[in-house]
């Protein structure tokens, strides 16, 4: 099943502590600290989703920060944005939301990240190209402050991202409109563990110098194995639009263990 990662291209936090300013830092904050409310925004560029894709599942991945508060069992809320946000957005002029399109989630898990099902948001974005591809993260007044890595985090592996699973329904995926790049992945997964792998085909367009990233993700499950699991697998990465003369490619392979190995 094809999958891709869509990293947040913008993030921002606003608070009534600084009603005419904003916080554009390594972290986003959500909740309440003393009497002050913190709201955060994320934006995503979904232009790399193939036009012939049928979206099956979309998860928002948020990475906790060192000062993430573990003692609160309250839920956070995600809303669909009506308007875009920018570096000029403040608490006093924050964008409007669609109150009927929301998702609640509990951020307090044992993992270093939080996964939230936002399939209904991404389906809406894909169907209507005119809709804002942004979300607001907020909470009720009884929720203490939570902190996650932002799109400006020093470590790009901690950026918020959407993990998208889809299938294509066209019969001519190898037409002249796309490039199909085959990538081979070899490696070893330790016993009693799971590894989340990412294949990133980076294309630099000759005419514009724009850099585009095309992702495939996979999970190698060796959680029940007592010996190392050897990986030798081929993936087909769909590049849209088709590569032209002068375009260049770089392939990056990275990932992380999804769960701690058993002791």
For the segment 26-36, what is each residue's pLDDT rounded down to a tens digit? 999 999 988 89
What's this model's pTM, rounded to 2 decimal places? 0.67
Q: Which residues contact 194 (CB under 8 A, 6 or more apart)?
A: 219, 220, 221, 222, 223, 257, 258, 259
The answer to whether the beta carbons of residues 62 and 174 sit under 8 Å apart is no
Q: How many residues does the chain have?
A: 263
Domain boundaries, the chain: 3-167, 171-257
Domain 3-167 of CATH type 2.60.120: yes
Out of 9-13, 134-138, 170-174, 239-243, least confident range: 170-174
78-82, 143-147, 238-242: range with highest mean pLDDT: 78-82
For the segment 105-151, what is each residue's pLDDT rounded down to a tens digit? 987 776 788 999 999 999 889 887 668 999 999 998 778 888 999 99
Helices and strands, counts by H and E, the chain: 1, 15
């Amino acid at each position: 099943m094809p999958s891709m990662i869509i990293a947040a291209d913008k993030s921002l936090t606003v608070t009534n502590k600084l009603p005419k300013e904003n916080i554009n830092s390594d972290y986003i904050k959500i909740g309440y600290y003393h009497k002050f409310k913190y709201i955060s925004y994320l934006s995503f560029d979904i232009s790399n989703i193939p036009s012939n894709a049928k979206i099956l599942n979309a998860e928002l991945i948020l990475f906790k920060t060192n000062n993430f508060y573990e003692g609160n069992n309250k839920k956070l809320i995600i809303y669909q944005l009506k308007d875009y946000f920018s570096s000029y957005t403040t608490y006093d002029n924050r964008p409007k939301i669609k109150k009927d399109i929301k998702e609640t989630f509990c951020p307090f898990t044992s993992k270093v990240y939080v996964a939230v099902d936002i399939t209904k948001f991404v389906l809406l974005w894909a169907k209507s190209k005119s809709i804002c591809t942004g979300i607001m993260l907020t909470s009720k007044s009884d929720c203490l402050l939570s902190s996650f890595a932002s799109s400006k985090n020093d470590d790009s592996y901690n950026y918020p991202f959407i993990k998208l699973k889809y299938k294509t329904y066209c019969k001519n995926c190898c037409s002249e409109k796309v490039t199909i790049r085959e990538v081979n992945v070899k490696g070893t997964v330790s016993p009693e563990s799971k590894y989340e792998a990412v294949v990133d085909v980076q294309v630099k367009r000759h005419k514009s110098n724009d850099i585009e990233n095309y992702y495939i993700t996979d999970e190698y499950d060796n959680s029940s194995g007592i010996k190392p699991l050897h990986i030798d697998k081929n993936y087909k990465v769909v590049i849209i639009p088709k590569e032209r003369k002068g375009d260049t490619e770089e392939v990056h392979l990275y990932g992380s263990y999804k769960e701690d190995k058993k002791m």
